[in-house]
Amino acid sequence: MPTPLTEYGEPDLSAVSGTASTIAPRLRRGQLIVLVSTTYPGTTEELVRPILEGGGLAVGADIALGYSPEREDPGNPRFALENTPKLVSGCTDACRELTALLYEPVVAKVVPVSTTRVAEASKLLENIYRAVNIALVNELKMCFDRMGIDVWEVIGAAGTKPFGFTPFYPGPGLGGHCIPIDPFYLTWKARAFDFHTRFIELAGEVNTAMPDYVVTRLHEALDVRGSTLHGARILVLGVAYKRDTSDIRESPALRVLSILARRGAVITYHDPHVPRLGRSRHYQFDLESTPLTPESLRRADAVLIVTDHSSVDYQSVVQHAALVVDTRNATRDVRDGREKVVKA
């Protein structure tokens, strides 16, 4: 079940509780229920279990309740359900064992953990680890920009160290259902224990600010060329949150488009995986993907690369565009016309 945030930044577990309430009166003895949604530690025991037991059957005696977080990476050709280790847990030892038996036939490795809280916290750690490290390189990108240092070259150089370093890469902000949202489930739960999750909240501030930074860099690049953002024709290249997918959930491109429209730019976009942009959770658009042709590139005052889809010919983009602002280092292999490229 989806686990978004409310408009006030708090966990919205209505889908989880609603589903549990729907199935509770229909449960039969011997059934196993497994929650896979990413959520704060305690959800399975404190929220789902009481609702299910409200139907008259006891967890651990009449029915089994487990937690096994979803682990997926959309667009990743190497890892899928069957070859990604599967964390399993349960409200009792028997619940955990039954959950393991459910997944053992379909995954390469099952990893049992002691409690549902441990499994819930492990999933959050996976996503918080990425969110904090991405925020770190995003902050370094802004710092190194002022110093005239290419952050991408810095990361590549540091990545030659064979131990003690894992490369993360900057971008225009975070997208997808997991990383921009899940860390704040722990932030919310931590308050009940009088604990302030400073790293998580600071990472959120840095990552949330990246779309504004990207637009500022675009504005500066136009200004150097004697133009202004207001009235400029901006072609946004890529609106999915991740390369080679059609998923626009929480995509930073949506905020970038919104900021550009608010500041008077004339916006179009091209995305081979997203033919149309309409209403989303936070934004309202009525746009169709523009064909990426030499003519459409030449018409734009600037091309802003937000998502680096692999099917795009970036040499052609640079060749025909007047200005390219690149947030993903997609033009790294382009040789001709590099004077028209600005990293953001």
- Residue 75 maps to which CATH number? 3.40.50.720
Question: Total structural domains in the chain?
Answer: 3
Q: Does 89 lie in the same domain as 21?
A: yes
CB 186 within 8 A of CB 124: yes
Is 302 part of any domain?
Answer: yes
End-to-end CA distance of the chain: 36
Q: Does 78 lie in the same domain as 18?
A: yes
The last residue of one of the domains, among 92, 114, 136, is: 114
Supply the DSSP string of 60-97, one letter for each residue: TTTBEEEE------TT-SS--GGGS-EEEEESSHHHHH
- CA–CA separation, 242 and 183 (whole Å): 19
Task: Give the Cα-Cα-Cα angle 247, 250, 256 (nearest 5 degrees).
Answer: 105
- CA–CA separation, 255 and 248 (whole Å): 11
Residues catalogued as catalytic: 178
Q: Does 153 lie in the same domain as 72?
A: no
pLDDT score at 100: 98
Q: Does 65 lie in the same domain as 26?
A: yes
Nearest to 67 by CA among 146, 108, 122: 122
Q: Does 222 lie in the same domain as 276?
A: yes
Is 198 part of any domain?
Answer: no
Question: Which residue's entry shows tokens 């590549």?
Answer: 156
Task: Give the Cα-Cα-Cα angle 147, 204, 119 (nearest 5 degrees).
Answer: 130
Joined together, the tokens standing for residue 318 give 């640079």
Q: Does 321 lie in the same domain as 289?
A: yes
Is 79 part of any domain?
Answer: yes
Q: Does 228 lie in the same domain as 327?
A: yes
Based on the number of CB atoms within 10 Å of its own CB, is 263 exposed (0-12), middle (13-18) or buried (19 or more)?
Answer: middle
Is 165 part of any domain?
Answer: yes
Is 203 part of any domain?
Answer: no
Question: Which residue's entry shows tokens 């169709």?
Answer: 288
CB 234 within 8 A of CB 302: yes
CB 174 within 8 A of CB 131: yes
pLDDT, one tens digit for every residue, the chain (344 residues): 999 999 888 999 999 999 999 999 999 999 999 999 999 999 999 999 999 999 999 999 999 999 999 998 877 888 888 899 999 999 999 999 999 999 999 999 999 999 999 999 999 999 999 999 999 999 999 999 999 999 999 999 999 999 999 999 999 999 998 999 999 999 999 999 999 999 999 999 999 999 999 999 999 999 999 999 999 999 999 999 999 999 999 999 999 999 999 999 999 999 999 999 998 878 999 999 999 999 999 999 999 999 999 999 999 999 999 999 999 999 999 999 999 999 99
The last residue of one of the domains, among 114, 148, 166, is: 114
Alpha-helical runs (H) found in 111-230: 116-147, 151-158, 183-191, 198-224
Q: Does 308 lie in the same domain as 274?
A: yes
Nearest to 154 by CA among 339, 342, 165, 205: 165
Element (H, E) at 259: helix 252-262
pLDDT score at 81: 87
Question: Which residue's entry shows tokens 């931590």?
Answer: 190
Is 9 part of any domain?
Answer: no
Is 201 part of any domain?
Answer: no
Is 8 part of any domain?
Answer: no
Question: Which residue's entry shows tokens 């499994």?
Answer: 119
Beta strand 110-112 pairing with 86-90:
parallel
Q: Does 186 lie in the same domain as 267?
A: no
Largest Cα–Cα distance in the chain?
Answer: 74
Question: What is the number of other CB atoms lying within 10 angstroms of the CB of residue 193?
Answer: 6
The last residue of one of the domains, among 69, 90, 114, is: 114
pTM of the model: 0.93
Rounded to whole angstroms, what are the CA distances from 264 to 12, 290, 323?
34, 19, 18
Q: Does 127 lie in the same domain as 92?
A: no
Nearest to 296 by CA among 285, 312, 282: 312
Question: Which residue's entry shows tokens 């704040």?
Answer: 184
Domain that holds residue 142: 122-191
pLDDT score at 75: 78
Q: What is the separation of C-alpha 92 from the centre of its chain, rounded to a whole number of angstroms?
A: 33
Q: Does 145 lie in the same domain as 55?
A: no
Q: Does 79 lie in the same domain as 53?
A: yes
Joined together, the tokens standing for residue 286 give 């009525």
